[in-house]
Every structure is written in structure tokens, then in C-alpha cells.
Amino acid sequence: MPTPALEIEVGGRTVRVTSPDKLYFPEVGLTKRDVVEYVLAVGDGIFYALRDRPVTMERWPGGYRPDVTLSTRTDSHHEAFYQKRAPARGMPEWVETMTVAFPSGRTADEVCATELATVVWMANLGTLRYHPWPVTRADADRVDQLRIDLDPQPGTTFADAVRAAYELRAVLAEVGLTGHCKTSGGRGVHVFVPVEPEHGFVEARHAVIAVGRELARRMPDHVTVNWWKEERGERIFVDFNQMARDRTIASAYSIRPTPTAVVSAPLTWDELAEAHPEDFTIPTMLARFAEVGDVWASMYDSPPGRLDGALELYERDVRDLGTGRYGGAEMPYPPDYPKMPGEPARVQPSRMTAATRESEQLDEAEPPEAGRRD
């Protein structure tokens, strides 16, 4: 017999939680109710990580199982999938939405987290990881957070990402920016940087490319910004395309779909060196949050930085490296993007042929796709 639904009061709203006893993490005995109660317990932290932002939901409505594959298609009927558009049916009238534009020029209304009850409602839909855009409802086209993904490549470890993160912190400080670190929930480190919402996605991505490139100059055997996997080697990759429009990074306190329910843990810089990502799970984060609260609270209260210094680094790279399809300061965009101005060829070096080069040169003569908003 199905377990009766629960009704939970959250900030004056009533949120209905269906099938509360459904096992979401069988290996550690955590139910859907446990997940919802976790969101409530870390509410001050997870809400501020999502506040007033459009959010893509990573939904696992049946809970985590190792045999379930996350579909990369959105609004899918798979057992686990991303949902960008707000549900057409069953959404409470108090849940707000926000219109965002994709690289194609199409738009969609995404759920906008304006109150904790909305986050709890998303949890009831089976959302484990919340993927907020780096913009707020005040302006969907002006970035107010840089998100820098330090992604360990095969042969590297979390400790390698930590080492890169500390040097990244120094690079950011030199251009007038303050970074805040968290575990990715896996082997990587994420660094979030509050900035004034003065620039769009192209400039924000350029800022991350420039900072990442400077980091790679200082740690050439340890860090890379090379887009093509065949060129990365055993180094930490600064994934600059996570800063492109419609690319997001999981929020602080998001739950990674793993057997032990590992979470993305915000940390202080003093804690990072001794951290072990696998130690941060739903139960341990509940204890940690009860003791120390949200260690990222200061990030939301501090004045944001400006991108001027980072963009000056990018302009220096334009002067030193030039522009063009086969080299320069610009880097390849994700494969589903339309061709972007100044972008190098989207053909990995080992597969570049004379015919491909000629085709790319012809494409270079064509104007960029019209109607782009970013």
C-alpha cells in the first residue's frame, strides 16, 4: 500500500510530499522524506545558493540506483533527467518562473527559486542536484557569479585540484576578485566568484578563460585550459565552457547521485586542504550545518568584485595570441553552440585535415548566426 502523502509547512506555504517512504538511496537507507528533511535542515544555505535564480532541475524521481543512467535530454521520460522548463501541470501557483534564452535563441520559462518552499517543492519532484544559472531575476543576461570548475583528468586526484584551487585563489586576488570554494561532490573543486552584474556570458566566459590561462602559465605541468582531451594530459582542466550560456554547475548542498548520497560541500579556504569529498554526505552535512551553519554566508554579504582586471588579462591574450580559427585568445565553444565570432576550429587537432581546414576557412567567411542574445 502506498505511503500517504505528507503536507509540510514551509514559510507559510504548504508543500505536499508524495511517497515519502520511497527509498532514494538504498545502500544507506535514505528515503525521499530524508531528502526533503535534509533540504529543510540546510535551508538557509541551499536557498541562498539558489535565491532569485532560474534553476535547471536534475530529477531522480525514483531515487538513485546504479543501473539508472542520467539522460542528457531535458524534459525526458527517462528515470533520471534534466528539466529546464517549468512543469506545465501540477505546479503550485506560488512557484515563480523566469524566462531564459538558450544559445539557439529559443527561450523557456524555468523555475525561479524565490523562497525555500520552492526548493522543497523541487525536492518532492525528485530533484537531487540543483543547477542555478549565474544570473538573477533582475537581469537574465548579466552574469553575477563566475563559476570555475577545476576538473581532474585521468591520472589526477582531488588533492591535485586542491593545489590548483589555492593558486587560482591568488590569481583571482590579483585581478580584484574573491573566490569561494566547495567540493563538486566528486573529485573536483568548484570556485564561485561574486561579480557585479555588468557583463554578459561572453565576457564572463572570457574572464574565466583568461584566469584559467594565467593559472596554467604558473602551473604548466599541473593545469591546462586545452579543450581537446587528447591535449590535456594528467592535469587539472579549467572547464571554461561551464561559464557559457546555458551551462551550469551544481549548487552548494546539492546531492550527488551516488550510493552514499555525497553532497557538494561549501568550505572555507582553511578547510579545503584537509577535506575529503566522500566525507560530506546527507547525514554528515546535517551534523556540520547544525554546528557551523552556512560557511558561504559571508559570500552573499560581501561586495561583489568587477571583471575589469580579468578582462584586461583576456585583452592581453588577444594582443599576444591574436585571433582566428586556428589559434588566438578565443577557445572552442560546446558542440551544440552556433559558431561564435573569433572561435577556433571545432575539430580536434589529430583529426584536422587539409579538407577540414578548407571547410573551416569557408565557414569563417560567413557572418555569425543572426538573432543571438549573448
pTM: 0.92
DSSP state of 103: T
Residue 106, C-alpha cell as written in the block: 529559443
Q: What local confidence, expressed as pLDDT, does residue 356 receive?
A: 52
Separation between Cα atoms, residue 311 and residue 108, nearest integer Å: 30
Is the pLDDT at 371 greater than 90? The verdict is no
Are 216 and 171 in contact by the 8 Å Cβ rule? The answer is: no
Q: What local confidence, expressed as pLDDT, does residue 342 receive?
A: 85
Q: For 243, how many CA atoms within 13 A lie in the half-sphere containing its CB?
A: 32
- 199 pLDDT band, cuts 50/70/90, is very high
DSSP state of 351: G
| Phi-psi domain of 352 (left: phi exceeds 0; alpha: psi -120 through 50; beta: other) | beta
What phi, psi does 298 have (nearest 5°)? -65, -25
Contacts within 8 Å (CB) and 24+ apart, 72-75: none
Burial of 186 (0-12, 13-18, 19+ CB in 10 A): middle
Are 195 and 144 in contact by the 8 Å Cβ rule? The answer is: yes
- 71 pLDDT band, cuts 50/70/90, is confident
Contacts of 224 (CB under 8 A, 6+ apart): 153, 216, 231, 232, 233, 235, 236, 237, 238
Is the pLDDT at 359 greater than 60? The verdict is no
Is the pLDDT at 370 greater than 50? The verdict is no
Burial of 222 (0-12, 13-18, 19+ CB in 10 A): middle
Is the pLDDT at 369 greater than 50? The verdict is no
Are 58 and 82 in contact by the 8 Å Cβ rule? The answer is: yes
Q: Which domains are delineated in the chain?
A: 6-138 (3.90.920.10), 142-252+296-360 (3.90.920.10)
Q: For 22, how many CA atoms within 13 A lie in the half-sphere containing its CB?
A: 21
Mean pLDDT score, 226-234: 94
- 190 pLDDT band, cuts 50/70/90, is very high
Give me the chain's average pLDDT, please.
92
Residue 249, C-alpha cell as written in the block: 554547475
The dihedral sign for the CA sequence 265, 117, 84, 370: negative
Are 329 and 317 in contact by the 8 Å Cβ rule? The answer is: yes
Q: How many CB atoms lie within 10 A of CB 138?
A: 9
Is the pLDDT at 343 greater than 80? The verdict is yes
Contacts of 370 (CB under 8 A, 6+ apart): none
Q: Which residue has the higher pLDDT, 210 or 367?
A: 210
For 274-284, the pLDDT digits (tens) are 999 999 999 99
Residue 49, C-alpha cell as written in the block: 545558493
Question: Pick from 143, 233, 151: which is nearest to 194 by CA?
Answer: 143
Q: What local confidence, expressed as pLDDT, does residue 344 receive?
A: 84
Question: Pick from 297, 296, 259: which is nearest to 281 by CA?
Answer: 259
Burial of 319 (0-12, 13-18, 19+ CB in 10 A): exposed
Are 173 and 214 in contact by the 8 Å Cβ rule? The answer is: no
Are 267 and 253 in contact by the 8 Å Cβ rule? The answer is: no
Q: What local confidence, expressed as pLDDT, does residue 348 receive?
A: 78
Is the pLDDT at 363 greater than 60? The verdict is no
Separation between Cα atoms, residue 52 and residue 137, nearest integer Å: 6
DSSP state of 286: H
For 157-180, the pLDDT digits (tens) are 999 999 999 999 999 999 999 999
